[in-house]
Structure 1
Amino acid sequence: MTVKRVASLGDISEHAWNDVADPRDMFQSHAWLRALEQSGDAPVTYLIARRPGDPRVLGALPLYDSLPSRGDYLSWPELHFRDLLAAGSRGGRLGLLAGSCAGFSTRLIVDRTLPSPTRTAVLRALREAAGAVAAERGLPYTFFLFLDAAAWRDLAPLTADGDHHRLASVAQTELELPGAGFDDYLATLPRNTRTSARREAGVFAKDCSTETVPLREAIPAVAPMIVNVRAKHGMAYSVDVVTRRLSAYASALGDGAATALLCRVEGRVVGTGVMCRWHDRLYVTDFGRLDDGAPDPFVYFNAAIYEPIKHAYAAGLSTVVTGAGAELGKARRGSAVLPLVHLAWAAADGGDRQLGAAQAEDRETYWRKLRSTHPTYFPAVWDELL
């Protein structure tokens, strides 16, 4: 096979790309990646694997420049591999970011109809091509962030002596919707949680009014609130960065599928949840709120969980992807907790495999303890990683 470098998805037909992308994964879609590219969020190169003379795409890999000035957890891998950064980087840069840079689970863009050995060969060719790009730019690593378990399973046979991997500090949470409405969802919760959820939704409904509007119209109002929440959790974002990302959602999905839930108390917008619909899944991509002492009648649980669940039921969707972070709060409200893995591919073998081993073991210990304390929240897929 051959691997070609392409500067823009505008040079790849939407049909050819989406034929190989997972149709259930919004972040693999031609629409999302093209919108992200056009937003200027980060310089990108696409690697495209094909058989010679055959236009069909066998596999693909977006490669984004990692920009240290950004400092955010989506697009700066060094935040997840500080040990590698301390060991010696190139002007604050360790490498390229491969695959998704969305903060949701990263899956591989590879033709699933191919036999397993052929898929492995495609991924190996993409790995080697990514390593060549990194080496040309004087960078020692190519990173995958937030790999889901299936992607890690596919990539694990390709890892080499100089590679590093570790569980992410956050996990993906997803809720498969039971029944046909919000009451059916509540009925699946344990009694104590169900009582709390009813109270949280009731207080919110009494004190808050809500409005769902096209995300495009709401970006100037909601971007500062999202930045505020992320800053509280130590994530260095600017309003411009968040605005570009929200604009990419709006551009990729359109007004009907990229929406913002506005939560008002006494007429003022005090919180927001960003919802993106893709096929039968609803992604809750962002939460924001004011930080000025405004009343908080359970705005987070409603804007990030309950109201999106109601929205998904009304739209006939099957799944609400509640995202990474705050795992226990989401799990108590019905979401499954799914593991994510960070991987640093060395551009050349011979790196120190022991570097960062203690940090990786600490992360495994953290998740192991959490799972032993709350076993019902963690499905069996964790077994292979713990």
Structure 2
Amino acid sequence: MVDIRMATSVADFTQGEWDRVVDDQNFYQSHDWLRGLEYLGGSRGVIAGRVGGELVGALPIWAGEHYTPGLFHLPSMFGDVPGEWEARFLWLGSHRGVSNGLVVSPDHLGVLGELLDYARSTAARAGLAGVVMPYVPIGKAVVLAAQHPAAHVLLHSAEAEMVVPPGGVAGHLAALCRRDCGKQRAELRQFHSAGNSVTWSPMTGAVVAEAADLITQNRARYGSGQGREWMSRSFAAQERSGVLGQATAGLCRREGRTVAIIVCYRFRSSLYARYFGFDYVRAKPRHEYFVLVYSMALDFAARQGFHRYHLATSALDVKARRGADLIPQAAVVLPVTDRWPTPEAVRTHNHRFAVRFHLRFGHRLGCLDWRRWHIDIPDAGT
């Protein structure tokens, strides 16, 4: 017998019991990461299932961003699928997360169906159009949707990641085509000729202060209105939750000062690139972004024994050119009624999305495993 209840916070669970049911490639739904988000923006709720008092599965929830174009704008994602995409939904996964795996015991996958049903009923009582969990790796999305007869799987994005070669960047460059290898070697030469050097450090108070400044400069350069104070509060929340202890900073120094930084997080056998910053006020770029993110971090990952290096969902063209694998991501959608979307509309959308990626990246044969993109995705009603 499964006991399904709504908890007010991930703090209602111990780190041990929560992370025991978090899969290995799911850092952004780990206990301390979610707790850090709550310290920053408040508690949002968790639908949890227990068997005999033991946690066997959970779905974090949040309110979503319904009317702002961007990463969480459903009409932009699924405008070719007839449905109530302009309405409000109950969102599942980490707050504004773009990588959502599953929080479930492998021995109790069936609890996912009961969790989804509880979420759907919660959405119906609130007058919402349904439930959506975006940015789920396709294999996990299929597993999740298979547990509920009304769930649909809709492709909408991809996550870039790299297998960490034993030789680090040297092994990585050897596997690239001649043109891409030559380009990256030229960047490394220019990077070092500028007098840059890189060291790796825990997120001490001094490193956090430098990181907040440089990351804010980089975010402002690309349109973010969140200032340094917001970045400082983010790190303070992470320190409070404990997840900052899993962070490592790659500090690029030139002429005695830090000009660039990358902040990565360790989770089991994987390394996650999260933030990059640069001092645009006092320094001129010399390929610091590309070298830190795609060379130095890969070297660090190899030295530390990590198996995979996660690079998120942005700038996929750049990441594909640098040897990353593109893993399809899907949204699992459950409307509160069974009237939409139709299985045919879902199949057409998924085929069209996969073909679009094929046309965009087909010339880079190594970055896409087409078995992941053209699988027969089961859909509600079929």
TM bucket normalised to smaller: 0.7 to 0.9
- Do 1:200 and 1:302's aligned partners in 2 also have CA atoms closer than 8 Å? yes
**CA displacement 1:87-112 (0-9 Å, x = unmatched):** 6756xxx2222123464432111111
- Do 1:216 and 1:247's aligned partners in 2 also have CA atoms closer than 8 Å? no
- Do 1:166 and 1:363's aligned partners in 2 also have CA atoms closer than 8 Å? no
Residue 377 of structure 1 aligns to a residue whose secondary structure is coil
The structure 2 residue matched to 1:55, chosen from 18, 35, 53, is 53
Return closer, same or farther for 1:193/1:383 CA change in 2, 3 Å cut-off: same
Aligned AA (1:39): L
Between the aligned residues of both structures, percent identity stands at 24
The structure 2 residue matched to 1:96, chosen from 78, 90, 97, is 90
The structure 2 residue matched to 1:187, chosen from 174, 179, 192, is 174
Aligned AA (1:381): R
Hey, what does 1:215 align to over in structure 2? 203
Residue 54 of structure 2 aligns to a residue whose secondary structure is coil
Return closer, same or farther for 1:233/1:176 CA change in 2, 3 Å cut-off: same
1:365: Cα distance to partner?
A: 3.5
Gaps of 5+ in 1: none
- Do 2:145 and 2:153's aligned partners in 1 also have CA atoms closer than 8 Å? no
Measure the CA separation in 2 of the matches of 1:236 and 1:347: 36
- Do 1:143 and 1:345's aligned partners in 2 also have CA atoms closer than 8 Å? yes
Aligned AA (1:65): A
**CA displacement 1:164-210 (0-9 Å, x = unmatched):** 653234x2122122224443333333333222222212211221233
Return closer, same or farther for 1:196/1:95 CA change in 2, 3 Å cut-off: same
1:326 maps onto 2:324 in alignment: no
Number of residue pairs the alignment of both structures matches: 371
Measure the CA separation in 1 of the matches of 2:93 and 2:144: 12
1:21: Cα distance to partner?
A: 1.8
CA RMSD of aligned residues (A): 3.5
1:257: Cα distance to partner?
A: 2.9
Residue 301 of structure 2 aligns to a residue whose secondary structure is helix
Bigger mean CA deviation after superposition, 355-364 or 243-252: 355-364
Return closer, same or farther for 1:159/1:237 CA change in 2, 3 Å cut-off: farther
The structure 2 residue matched to 1:301, chosen from 246, 267, 290, is 290
Hey, what does 2:380 align to over in structure 1? none
- Do 2:215 and 2:278's aligned partners in 1 also have CA atoms closer than 8 Å? yes
Return closer, same or farther for 1:216/1:132 CA change in 2, 3 Å cut-off: farther
Return closer, same or farther for 1:70/1:15 CA change in 2, 3 Å cut-off: farther
1:199 maps onto 2:186 in alignment: yes
Hey, what does 2:138 align to over in structure 1? 149
Hey, what does 1:364 align to over in structure 2? 354
Hey, what does 1:384 align to over in structure 2? 375
Aligned AA (1:366): R
Q: How does 1:230-241 map to 2 (within 5 A)?
A: 230=219, 239=228
Gaps of 5+ in 2: 378-382
1:284: Cα distance to partner?
A: 0.4
Return closer, same or farther for 1:33/1:205 CA change in 2, 3 Å cut-off: same
Hey, what does 1:258 align to over in structure 2? 247
